[in-house]
Structure 1
Amino acid sequence: MIKINNLDSHVETAVEHILNHLNIKVSNEGFPLILKEGTALNVSFDLSKIILTYQTLNEVFVGLRLIKEQGLDKAFQIDYPKRLKELTFMLDASRNAVLKTEEVKHLLNILALSGYDGLMLYTEDTFEMEDEPYFGYLRGRYTEKEIKDIEAYANQLGIELIPCIQTLAHLNGITRYQPYRDIFDTLDILLVGEEKTYQFIEKMIQTMSQMFTSKKINIGMDEAYMLGRGKYLDKFGYEKRFDIMVKHLKRVMEICKKYGFEPMMWSDMFFASGWGDYYAKDKKLPQALLDAVPKEVGLIYWDYYHTEASHYINMIEKHQQFGNKVVFAGGAWKWIGFTPDNRFSLKANQASMKACIEKQVDEVIITAWGDNGAEASVYSILPSIIYNGLLKYGSDEVDSSVKVSFKAITNVDFDHFMLIDSANQLTKNYKHKSTANKHFLYNDPLLGLLDTSTEENYPKIYQKHINKMKKAMPYYGRYQYIFETQLALLKVIQKKVNLGVYIRKSYQEKDLEALKKHVKTLKTVHKDIKLFKTIFSNQWHQDNKAFGYEIQDLRIGGILSRIETSIQKIEDYILGKTLSIEELEVELLDYYGGYKNFQKSHTIAEFRYKPVVSVGVTV
């Protein structure tokens, strides 16, 4: 037992939250816990009292986790100095899924126990803005009250809530509305040089200053590759993209300064202007470009794709040439459909963190994007989230100590939890960043765009995944609901993965008996998908606000409808009502344009829905 003495009310409330999460009881019969401020995290137990020395408030909770890991049946002394100054988790709340306030608080508990210092809330238009009724309309936007509530809870845990918005591109959510049409250049990119644009940006930044107490702000500005090629070109004539970018950045920085913000931004546009490829590591940036970038803005080097520390070191060195503050952003791969890729994330994060520590980049962000639907639960990447916190304090390999920490935080066995990746794992090679989970759910039974990417042994692989997850299912505790989603998905894919291949072969061989069997399988798959939809709906609505789920309804409903159409067409053909099935007459080609050189699914990372389901232009 642990007894808490002589704590001020602010710390005591926060400690109570975390003790409940850790399932540690407070009792007069327990050992006293003495908190002291110091220069590094240290925990000691002499069989009579616990002394927890911390540098920052959030380290109190890391210390509590260490106490749980050690137990109180013998004396111990732990020195736990951090190798990294600040670690921040970025939550994407703009790709359909807007995490409920109570779930953000649960996530904050996990971040505190893992050693995070900040939570960056990525909101494109998903925050409330005065007199802007279409901004975040029907998108589940956070209200000011919700932001304040989240921030108050974060502050109790010593975690800084940081605003993250877009001030140049990625504002697709509002491009459809007439009131905003004057401020867009092309696509989702704002019109630089237009005064209405800067009035709008100032309104966003002013709103952030009212909602958040943090003086940090991420102003975005990434991936605006068509900048200056639309209305800007008509209005101002041709200018180099880099010159437009710098001009715009200076205006936005003036606004940030007005409201007391210290801005940071994604750095890719400067590299794209310098050599056209963000990761062209062998090329040099022109000195004129280095000199032109304002020194007051922090540059965020984002990179989620490499597993060699040398690559990150090279890119960090190129960023440091600017003379600006450099922040690194790695990724926890949850943006590839319903199923994450923790296996790859762990390797990439291990390499990037090593490089950051070596090159003295002392601020790191771990992003959790939800591109193209945000189907995966934020909790599906708990191995990646927690591992990065442990890397901050000196861990390296995913070893027994990492697994002990993971169990202490989640009450789930690490190896059991890693089964969450199963639907994407078709080989044992972690570099195979597959999005098979989305491919084989949505692959059309008749068109079969992805039928050339399958292999004969895939159903057996999925059956093994199913068997392992079934055995582990009783041990997932609070997170069982996300594994129920994955198990239901695995069952669908196991039956469906090669079904289109079998149907086409039987049709071409005019094997009517085989086609009858395939119809039965299609009807079973239809039932399995309906069950999956129900289970996934439970997951979505437990985690997120309702808005955005309509996309999942439309997509899953779409594949159910296509299966119904497939059944009808095959049955009509069997009965002789039709003489052919047009889709099955077509000879399939490689998904990526390799003609008959078929690329297999374990090397395809295509997380977008539209290219998977059809080549039609109206989807």
Structure 2
Amino acid sequence: MKKMYMESLEGIEKKAVSDILTERGVEVLPAGEEKHGVGLSGSLDQNLNYAAFQMECRDGSVKIRYGSPTGFFRGLGEYILTGEDAKKEGTKGRHGAMFDCSRNGVLRVESIKKWIRRMALLGYSRLFLYTEDTYEVEGYPYFGALRGRYKTEEIRECDAYAAMFGIEMIPCVQTLAHLRTMLRWPAMMGYRDDEDILIAGEEKTYQLIDAMLKSLSEMYTSRKIHLGMDEAFYLGFGNYRKKNGVPNQGELIKKHLDRVLQICKKYGLEPMIWSDMFFVNAGGGDYYQVPADYEWPEEEKPDRSVTLVYWDYEGHDRERYARMARLHRKLTDQVCFAGAAWIWNGLAPNYAKALDASRAAFEGIREAGVSDTFLTLWLDNGAETPMETGLPMLAAYSAYMYGKVPDKEKMEQVMKGLFGVSWDDFCLLDAFDHIPGTGEHNEKFANPSKTIFYQDPLVGIFDRQFEDLELEGYYRDLAGRLENAEERNGKMRGLFHYYRLLAAADAAKSTLGTRIRSSYLKEDKETLKKIASEELPELIRIILELKKEREQIWMKEYKPNGYEVLDIRISGVAARLLSAKERIESWIEGKEGCLEELEEERLIYLEEESGERRIPSCNLWENIVSACNIKGV
């Protein structure tokens, strides 16, 4: 298919279709030039349910009947894939994807538009933009200062663009916790309960929230809004406690929510919130351990007009999801489920866990009668994993949305046909952390690729953890496979090149600290001299090339703000390798009597009660690079 002309699309924006086809190398011609290409038309059919479509391909024309714009774009995607007649049912629920724009990476407008086009072809109807303080609020200049926050016009542009594809763009914000970056400013100290949580019950807090919701209501056309309110575990135990005494958390969050709901009503907003703060106390401190027969006291129940978002990223048992979904339905009829893309595992995605958790989730929530869902693409600890790695899970989650199983053959067809990249090659990225010993689905979300990459060559916090695992050969093999993938995936060549460099760096670093210390203790100066003169300079070269590639990926996806954090982290790896080189050479030359940091015995970082080592999950950079206090507190 090289050329296409478009007839009447009855409400489907031609520009939206044109953007999708042009992106795929299709020349879009004016209507009437049918002899030069394939004609496309569409018609709304009230007999088809939401997101359903029927497609007929005859004599140079494509006719799509659809139940909603979502159905039309699903049909267009099917035509791009097969070019054959097709009929697909819709879905009872509304399905979306949530993009984290608060963990330093703030998606560029063009990036959001690209994700909108992808979502449309996969049958999504909602886009949640997660912005803690990365949007403008009139009268509060420190709100999102120096963070790359969105201007009002940028949100409006994205909102209007999404609407052309039948996608509702919904603000996903925070009105209680997770506001650390805003509350860090001296000018905002009066709003703090603690460093992460707004102080409840204070009028100035609700004046701020009023300004936030006013701004959002003017940016987005949707009246739906996600208010956050999750993980406020220490709510009331900071400055609130100093002023008011020990709080009843259940009652306090209920009162706070009621005040925020009043503001929502003022601006005609329909709220939803993460549900965990209504479950943690009931579960004895654990969100997921609430007994199936639990009944909430009336004074602790949220307003039933609020949609509760049940988020669960870790379970692999359908019964857990079914039990939790039924418990949510005790509190409200409006329940939405949020699943996981697991692109926040460290430096690489964890597809194995994401796929199996999504399978169990859809089985469980459907059993309990929950149909609305969205996929979360979080960017924990600084957006180290590129957002682009979320594409395979966006495609797989779409299959689950429409009652299909995302088998390997079908996913390869979808990824290549719609996006020009290989599912199999993307799945190589899962191997960075899914090393032998991490289980079938990397259930405990181990992330050795991050700990190996960042750990110091002279301190070696994780050296004992990974000894004898033969990871050098493992990562060298992975680097070779990624080099081949790099050649096959021209559209994302830079992404695969970055990961090839990461595999090469991990291969070299996986045994580096152990070899340096072992050679030092044996006074094997020849080996140390080779490490210092040959291996470390080459590794530094790889790290600097990796940094350059990562910066290019970042600047294409995100605004510049936030990259300074990755710049410092990756540059720090190279700097410490250079320091190791100089320290080793100084000792060899007799300028240092000893290398004190190599004298101390190394310890196993994590082991089971049985004494067996477990591959750890350690996703905080500051806990990897040093055993000392990097925060300086």
* Superposition TM-score, scaled by structure 1 size: 0.95
SS of equivalent residue, structure 2 residue 429: helix
Say if 2:445 is the partner of 1:431: no
Higher mean C-alpha displacement, 31-40 vs 460-469: 31-40
Say if 2:574 is the partner of 1:567: no
Higher mean C-alpha displacement, 232-241 vs 28-37: 28-37
Of the candidates 68, 77, 93, which is equivalent to residue 85 of structure 2?
77
Superposed CA deviations along residues 195-245 of structure 1, whole A, max 9, x for unmatched, are 000000111001100101101100000000000101111111112111111
Which residue of 1 is the match for residue 55 of structure 2? 43
Say if 2:319 is the partner of 1:306: no
Aligned AA (2:164) = Q
Aligned partners of 2:92 and 2:371 also within 8 Å:
yes
Which residue of 1 is the match for residue 484 of structure 2? 471
Larger relative contact order (Cα-Cα within 8 Å, sequence gap ≥ 6)? 1
Superposed CA deviations along residues 540-578 of structure 1, whole A, max 9, x for unmatched, are 111111000111111112222221221122112222222
Say if 2:623 is the partner of 1:614: no
SS of equivalent residue, structure 1 residue 328: strand
Superposed CA deviations along residues 149-181 of structure 1, whole A, max 9, x for unmatched, are 111110111111100110000001112222211
Say if 2:168 is the partner of 1:160: yes
Which residue of 2 is the match for residue 318 of structure 1? 327
SS of equivalent residue, structure 1 residue 51: strand
Which residue of 2 is the match for residue 384 of structure 1? 393
Which residue of 2 is the match for residue 536 of structure 1? 550
Task: Specify whether residues 354 and 23 from structure 1 end up closer, same or farther in structure 2 by C-alpha distance, changes over 3 A only.
Answer: farther
Partners in 1 of 2:390 and 2:185 — Cα distance?
A: 35
Superposed CA deviations along residues 111-133 of structure 1, whole A, max 9, x for unmatched, are 11111101111111100111222
Deviation at 1:435? 1.4
Deviation at 1:24? 3.7
Matches within 5 A, 1:375-454: 375-427=384-436, 429-432=440-443, 433-454=445-466
Aligned partners of 2:399 and 2:406 also within 8 Å:
no
Aligned partners of 1:172 and 1:188 also within 8 Å:
yes
Q: For structure 2, which runs of at least 5 residues remain unmatched after alignment?
A: none
Aligned partners of 1:425 and 1:434 also within 8 Å:
yes
Partners in 2 of 1:408 and 1:361 — Cα distance?
A: 31
Task: Specify whether residues 604 and 283 from structure 1 end up closer, same or farther in structure 2 by C-alpha distance, changes over 3 A only.
Answer: farther
Partners in 2 of 1:478 and 1:514 — Cα distance?
A: 42
Aligned AA (1:36) = S
Say if 2:237 is the partner of 1:229: yes
Deviation at 1:48? 5.5
Aligned AA (1:381) = G
Which residue of 2 is the match for residue 589 of structure 1? 603
Deviation at 1:618? 3.3
Aligned partners of 1:473 and 1:480 also within 8 Å:
yes
Aligned AA (2:74) = V
Higher mean C-alpha displacement, 359-368 vs 207-216: 359-368
Aligned partners of 2:485 and 2:496 also within 8 Å:
no
Deviation at 1:356? 2.7
Matches within 5 A, 1:242-257: 242-257=250-265
Which residue of 2 is the match for residue 557 of structure 1? 571
Partners in 1 of 2:165 and 2:517 — Cα distance?
A: 58
RMSD: 1.9
Partners in 1 of 2:365 and 2:150 — Cα distance?
A: 33
Task: Specify whether residues 32 and 560 from structure 1 end up closer, same or farther in structure 2 by C-alpha distance, changes over 3 A only.
Answer: closer
Deviation at 1:135? 1.1
Percent same amino acid among aligned pairs? 34
Higher mean C-alpha displacement, 365-374 vs 77-86: 77-86
Which residue of 1 is the match for residue 209 of structure 2? 201
Which residue of 2 is the match for residue 287 of structure 1? 296
Aligned AA (2:183) = T
Of the candidates 104, 107, 110, which is equivalent to residue 112 of structure 2?
104
Partners in 2 of 1:318 and 1:79 — Cα distance?
A: 36
Aligned partners of 2:103 and 2:380 also within 8 Å:
yes
Superposed CA deviations along residues 444-491 of structure 1, whole A, max 9, x for unmatched, are 101100112214310111111111111121221222211111111111
Partners in 2 of 1:552 and 1:538 — Cα distance?
A: 12
Higher mean C-alpha displacement, 362-371 vs 397-406: 397-406
Task: Specify whether residues 284 and 453 from structure 1 end up closer, same or farther in structure 2 by C-alpha distance, changes over 3 A only.
Answer: farther
Aligned partners of 2:73 and 2:121 also within 8 Å:
yes
SS of equivalent residue, structure 2 residue 252: helix
Say if 2:195 is the partner of 1:187: yes
Partners in 2 of 1:10 and 1:67 — Cα distance?
A: 16
Task: Specify whether residues 289 and 403 from structure 1 end up closer, same or farther in structure 2 by C-alpha distance, changes over 3 A only.
Answer: farther
Superposed CA deviations along residues 494-547 of structure 1, whole A, max 9, x for unmatched, are 111111111111112222222222223222211211111111111111111100
SS of equivalent residue, structure 2 residue 42: strand
Aligned AA (1:171) = L
Task: Specify whether residues 46 and 290 from structure 1 end up closer, same or farther in structure 2 by C-alpha distance, changes over 3 A only.
Answer: farther
Partners in 2 of 1:579 and 1:562 — Cα distance?
A: 20
Aligned partners of 2:183 and 2:189 also within 8 Å:
yes
Partners in 1 of 2:217 and 2:463 — Cα distance?
A: 51
Aligned partners of 1:90 and 1:365 also within 8 Å:
yes
Task: Specify whether residues 318 and 10 from structure 1 end up closer, same or farther in structure 2 by C-alpha distance, changes over 3 A only.
Answer: closer
Aligned partners of 2:607 and 2:613 also within 8 Å:
no
Higher mean C-alpha displacement, 185-194 vs 352-361: 352-361
SS of equivalent residue, structure 2 residue 200: coil
SS of equivalent residue, structure 1 residue 189: coil
